[in-house]
A = this chain, B = another copy of it.
């Protein structure tokens, strides 16, 4: 039975406690990474046999395999995938940012340009279930960002094939390089490259403890999205809420993982009790009952507050991955929510809607990191470069100030680098003539920016 606690009588530590997953697999993982670095493809074939129980002939999925597999996918599901992809695309396209250029002072141009990360590797978990939604949620923002080379690694089934649903999702997104590699060895191959697998700049996607640890170990060599903790939901529900759907929403999180946490905050004690009972009832018929039951037992809780303001306060302290606002006027509360990954508003917005379909991303900050981290977005697949241009006149005007600043920080060579441009006047280098460089006044610098967005 889920715990019910009164806010006023509970310590902040108890309220904020959440499950963590800690299995130390660092030694195994570093051995796997070394093996892949040393032996390349050979190591991958051998791990595939060992861990996935599959003898494969080629690491890369062929175009024929993809076409064959997709024929086996229900047309209905293909349509759903396309519609979900379209929603995800419409949302993420709004995240695209433009480069900017500033030319407000004479002879001074500064700016920021956005460039896609060139090579991205997307890890898609295999194992007991296939997650085509992972392909959509990671692949679409990468495509929108303009990443040139995107590939997928995913463990093969025992028969050496890839789950057709994953291939169908890859097709919908437009990713055609898919490799049959899973686990830490997949992450290693993407970070360092093998004969077949290309070395990438960034690795994204969820995975088990081995995948997470491998991402941690290759971080720095390549960029990674995040190391996700257990999944979490916080439901805030008022007295008019329906206990059945609130319970169902809590269980949808709990079924993910025994470490997942599902928390309800309500100002109505009767609702709290009804939901607790309803959870027990729904658990009985749930296919993933064992997982969900353990999650509810260990990490589930219902906190009863005296009003909804307290609930918002707790939400901001918890900084939940998923936050549901089961109230009549959720937009009245939105401005008060400071820390949350994805917010599901109103009584008809179960979290599952966002996991697959609505458009916002489902890769979200966990473990309270929503205080400072964001959902996966197009931003994660681009980087910024700054640039600066000064004409001789513009630099001369401020050269003494820059030199003064540099000397103040004890960095004389910094000062000299500025002064070296105007050495007719500067004692230190006065024997040398100022070279009178060719120097251009850009009147309309934008026109030189080519294809920069």
Is A314 an interface residue when CB atoms closer than 8 A count as contact?
A: no
Contact with B along A240-259 (1 / 0, CB 8 A): 10101100110110111000
Report the bound CA distance from A361 to B385 in whole Å: 10
Is there contact, CB below 8 Å, between A77 and B395? no
Q: A16 on the interface (CB 8 Å rule)?
A: no
Q: A413-B288, A416-B282 are in contact. Are A360 and B334 (CB under 8 A)?
A: no
| Distance A240 CA – B83 CA, assembled complex (angstroms) | 57
Partner of A417, one of B240, B251, B398, B421: B251
Flag the segment in A32-40, A178-186, A402-410 that touches B. A402-410
A439 pairs with B408, CB closer than 8 A: no
Contacts A348-B437, A386-B342, A402-B356 given; does A248 touch B100 at CB 8 Å = no
Q: Cα distance A163–B130 when bound, in Å?
A: 59
Q: How far is the CA of A428 from the CA of B347 in the complex (A)?
A: 20
- CB <8 Å contact, B245 and A420: yes
Of B76, B421, B449, which contacts A348 at CB under 8 A? B421
Q: How far is the CA of A24 from the CA of B394 in the complex (A)?
A: 45
Q: How many copies does the complex hold?
A: 2
Task: Determine whether the beta carbon of B94 is less than 8 Å from that of A102.
Answer: yes
Interface residues on A, range: 35 or more
| CB-defined contacts of A287 to chain B, threshold 8 Å | 410, 412
Q: In the complex, A83→B437 CA distance in Å?
A: 27
- Name the distance in Å between A241's Cβ and chain B's nearest Cβ: 8
**Interface-side segment among A50-58, A298-306, A367-375:** A367-375
Q: Majority SS of interface residues in chain A? A: mixed
B-binding segment of A112-120, A150-158, A190-198: A112-120
Contact with B along A333-364 (1 / 0, CB 8 A): 01101111111111111111111111111000
- Other-chain contact of A410, B128, B252, B339, B374 (Cβ < 8 Å): B128
CB pair A248–B420 under 8 Å, yes or no, is yes
B390, A452: Cβ atoms under 8 Å?
no
Complex Cα–Cα for A391 and B331 (A): 13
Q: Is A162 an interface residue (CB 8 A)?
A: no
- Tell me whether A448 and B332 are in contact (CB under 8 A): yes
Residues of B within 8 A of A292 (CB): 413
Chain B residues with Cβ under 8 A from A440's Cβ?
Answer: 328-329, 346
A223 on the B face (CB < 8 A): yes
Residue pair B409, A132 in contact (C-beta under 8 Å): yes
> A7-15, A64-72, A206-214, A376-384: which lies at the B interface?
A376-384
**Quick check: is A450 within 8 A (CB to CB) of the other chain?**
yes
A92 to chain B, nearest CB (A): 10
- In the bound assembly, the distance between CA atoms of A245 and B434 in angstroms comes to 10
Question: Would you list the 4 A-B pairs with minimal beta carbon distance, nearest first?
Answer: A331-B448, A335-B450, A360-B386, A223-B372
Chain A residues at the B interface, C-beta cutoff of 8 Å: 76-77, 80-81, 83-84, 90-91, 94-95, 97, 100, 102, 104, 108-110, 112-113, 115, 117-118, 128-133, 165, 201-202, 220, 222-223, 227, 240, 242, 244-245, 248-249, 251-252, 254-256, 282, 285-288, 292, 328-332, 334-335, 337-361, 365, 369-375, 377, 379, 383-392, 394-395, 398, 401-402, 404-406, 408-418, 420-421, 423, 428-429, 432, 435, 437-440, 442, 445, 448-452
Given contacts A242-B420, A354-B388, A370-B385, 4 further A-B contacts (CB under 8 A): A245-B421, A251-B416, A348-B392, A352-B418
